[in-house]
């Protein structure tokens, strides 16, 4: 489909494991140069449109110019009902287990995301809206409400945090990757070789990404002491109300996604994990 629409002449070299929201494969052009093709069904969500990806690309290039190891976008396009991204193929694989040396380097890279960018208040309004009403295709309220009494209780807690959040108080301090967990990192040994899946990037708060990293770090195998160190760093950088809003977003996001896509035991684990972090930030 991509070749027919754009004459790319690409051939499949190796299939990649499917993500939970998209697909990817390694391809080669007629000269043998390899790249990565990703594609999604255009289902009406915020990130399912070419216009969204075309806003993301300049943000990623801005980061790349500072040495941020994200892949270069080679082509963004749509064909029929699908959205396609062709990007540079980076070496490495996700760091599992996630080690302290990886976290240290990711915190350093996160500093490269800091920037003076205005967004007209969009970051705070968007983040608060995910808590009080949800987002397109994720942070869904209804599946969590239906799932169980524990799911409904978490949802009520998230909504209350959202209603108590002042969107103007959430800092706009640069560029947020917005899905900055260890499985979107590539590493070779101790060295970070890539930060991938940048299609959700937006003007916002880079510290949101460190909250995401922390929230998912237990799944990556990071030890309790190292999690505590990252938590202390976040407490030094952001006030409790901001961290509460960010953790509420991650709690809703992962728990509601699990309620839709995973089994009951997995969802129960995310619900318990979410309540633990919201208790801690309280």
The tokens for 78 are 């749509």
Question: Binning pLDDT at 50, 70 and 90, where does residue 204 land?
Answer: very high
- Beta-bridge partners for 195: 185
- Close Cβ partners of 97 (under 8 Å, ≥ 6 residues apart): 220, 221, 222
- Close Cβ partners of 135 (under 8 Å, ≥ 6 residues apart): 46, 129
Single out the residue of 106, 66, 70, 76 nearest to residue 88, CA to CA. Answer: 70
Q: What is the pLDDT of residues 211-245, one digit of tens each?
A: 999 999 999 999 999 999 999 999 999 999 999 99
242 phi and psi angles, rounded to 5 deg: -65, -45
CATH of the domain at 161: 3.90.1200.10
The whole-chain average pLDDT of the chain stands at 95
- Close Cβ partners of 67 (under 8 Å, ≥ 6 residues apart): 112
Q: What is the pLDDT of residues 82-98, one digit of tens each?
A: 999 999 999 999 999 99
Residue 17 or 208, more confident: 208
Asked whether residue 10 carries a pLDDT value surpassing 90, the answer given is yes
Quick one: average pLDDT of 234-263?
98
Asked whether residue 268 carries a pLDDT value surpassing 90, the answer given is yes
Tell whether 219 and 118 lie within a shared domain: yes
Residue 71 DSSP one-character state: P
CATH of the domain at 55: 3.30.200.20
Buried b (16+ CB within 10 A) or exposed e, 158-173: bbebbeebebeebbbb
Give the Cα separation of 180 and 112 in Å (integer). 14
Contact 123, 202 (CB under 8 A): yes
Quick one: average pLDDT of 149-178?
97
Tell whether 171 and 36 lie within a shared domain: no
Contact 205, 172 (CB under 8 A): yes
pTM (two decimals): 0.96
Question: 31: domain range?
Answer: 2-88
Q: What is the pLDDT of residues 125-153, one digit of tens each?
A: 999 999 999 998 899 999 999 999 999 99
The tokens for 80 are 């029929």
C-alpha 189: how far from chain center: 23
Tell whether 250 and 127 lie within a shared domain: yes
Quick one: average pLDDT of 107-126?
94
Tell whether 196 and 255 lie within a shared domain: yes
Give the Cα separation of 256 and 200 in Å (integer). 18
Asked whether residue 121 is domain-assigned, the answer is yes
Q: What is the pLDDT of residues 11-67, one digit of tens each?
A: 999 988 877 778 999 999 999 999 999 999 887 667 678 999 999 999 999 999 999
Neighbours of 111 (CB within 10 A): 10
Tell whether 137 and 260 lie within a shared domain: yes
Asked whether residue 189 is domain-assigned, the answer is yes
């Amino acid at each position: 489909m991509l070749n027919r629409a754009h004459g790319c002449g690409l051939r499949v070299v190796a299939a990649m494991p499917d993500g939970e929201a998209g697909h990817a494969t390694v391809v080669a052009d007629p000269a043998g140069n390899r790249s990565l093709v990703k594609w999604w069904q255009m289902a009406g969500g915020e990130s399912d449109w070419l216009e969204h990806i075309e806003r993301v690309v300049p943000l990623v290039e801005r980061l790349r110019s500072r040495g941020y190891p994200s892949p270069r976008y080679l082509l963004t396009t749509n064909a029929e009902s699908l959205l396609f991204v062709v990007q540079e193929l980076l070496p490495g694989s996700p760091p599992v287990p996630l080690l302290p040396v990886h976290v240290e380097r990711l915190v350093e890279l996160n500093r490269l995301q800091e920037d003076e960018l205005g967004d007209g208040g969009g970051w705070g309004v968007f983040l608060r809206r995910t808590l009080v009403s949800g987002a397109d295709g994720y942070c869904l309220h209804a599946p969590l409400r239906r799932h169980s009494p524990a799911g409904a209780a978490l949802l009520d807690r998230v909504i209350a945090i959202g209603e108590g959040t002042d969107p103007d108080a959430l800092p706009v301090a640069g560029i947020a990757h917005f899905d900055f967990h260890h499985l979107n990192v590539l590493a070779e040994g101790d060295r970070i070789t890539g930060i991938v899946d940048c299609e959700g990037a937006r003007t916002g708060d880079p510290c949101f990404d460190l909250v995401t990293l922390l929230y998912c770090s237990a799944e990556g195998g990071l030890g309790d002491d190292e999690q505590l160190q990252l938590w202390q760093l976040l407490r030094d950088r952001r006030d409790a109300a901001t961290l509460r809003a960010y953790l509420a977003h991650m709690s809703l996001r992962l728990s509601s996604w699990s309620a839709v896509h995973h089994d009951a035991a997995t969802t129960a684990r995310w619900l318990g994990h979410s309540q633990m972090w919201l208790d801690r930030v309280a």
